[in-house]
A and B are shown apart, each in its own frame.
Chain A
Amino acid sequence: MIVVSGVFLLTLLAIIAVAIVRTENLFVAVMLTSIFSLLMAANFFILDAADVALTEAAVGAGVTTVIFLSALSLTAERERSLTRERHLAIFVVIVTALVLIYATFDKPRLGDPQAPVHLHVAPWYLEKTPELIGIPNVVTAVLGSFRGYDTLGEVFVVFTACIGVLFLLGSKRDPESAVSESLPGSAGLSHHLIPKVVSRLLVPFIVLFGLYVQFHGEYGPGGGFQAGAIVASGIILYALIEGEAAALAAVPRAALMGMVVGGAMLYGLVGLAGLALGGNFLDYSVLLSDPLAGQQLGILLIEAGVGVTVCGALLLIFHAFAARELA
Chain B
Amino acid sequence: MAGVIDGLSWLLLLIGGGFVLIGGIGTLRLPNFYTRMHAASLTDSMATLLILSGIMLQAGWSLATIKLFAILVFLLLTGPTASYALANAALLSGMKPEETGRTVGDKASAS
Is there an interface contact between A202 and B77, defined as CB atoms closer than 8 Å? Answer: yes
Q: Identify the 4 closest CB pairs spanning chains A and B, nearest first.
A: A198-B81, A194-B84, A195-B85, A198-B77
Inter-chain CB contacts under 8 Å: number:
17
Chain B contact residues, CB within 8 Å of chain A = 74, 77-78, 81, 84-85, 88
For the complex, what is the distance from the CA of A128 to the CA of B88, rounded to whole Å? 56
Q: How far is the CA of A202 from the CA of B80 in the complex (A)?
A: 14
> A198–B88 contact, CB under 8 A?
no
The SS class assigned to the B binding surface is: helix
Distance of A140 Cα from B81 Cα, bound (Å): 35
Residues of B contacting A194 with CB < 8 Å?
Answer: 81, 84-85
Q: Which residues of B contact A199 (CB under 8 A)?
A: 81
Residue A172 is within 8 A (CB to CB) of chain B in the complex: no
Q: Can you pick out 13 interface pairs between chain A and chain B where the beta carbons lie within 8 Å of each other? A: A192-B85, A192-B88, A194-B81, A194-B84, A195-B85, A198-B77, A198-B78, A198-B81, A199-B81, A201-B77, A202-B74, A202-B77, A202-B78
**Bound-state Cα–Cα, A198 to B74, Å:** 10
Most chain A CB neighbours (cut-off 10 Å) among B77, B78, B81, B85: B81
A192 to B88, CA, bound (A): 9
Would you give the shortest CB distance from B99 to chain A, in whole angstroms?
A: 25
Query: A201's closest neighbor in chain B, by CB?
Result: B77
- Shortest distance in angstroms between B31's beta carbon and chain A's nearest beta carbon? 21
In the complex, the chain A residue whose C-beta lies closest to that of B77 is A198
A195 to B92, CA, bound (A): 15
For the A-B complex with A198-B81, A202-B74 known, give 6 more contacts whose Cβ atoms are closer than 8 Å.
Answer: A192-B85, A194-B81, A195-B81, A195-B84, A202-B77, A205-B74
Instruction: For chain A, residues 217 to 275, give those with C-beta under 8 angstroms from any C-beta of chain B.
Output: none
| Residues of chain A with a CB closer than 8 A to B77's CB | 198, 201-202
Residue of A nearest to B81 (CB): A198
**A199, B77: Cα distance in complex, Å:** 9
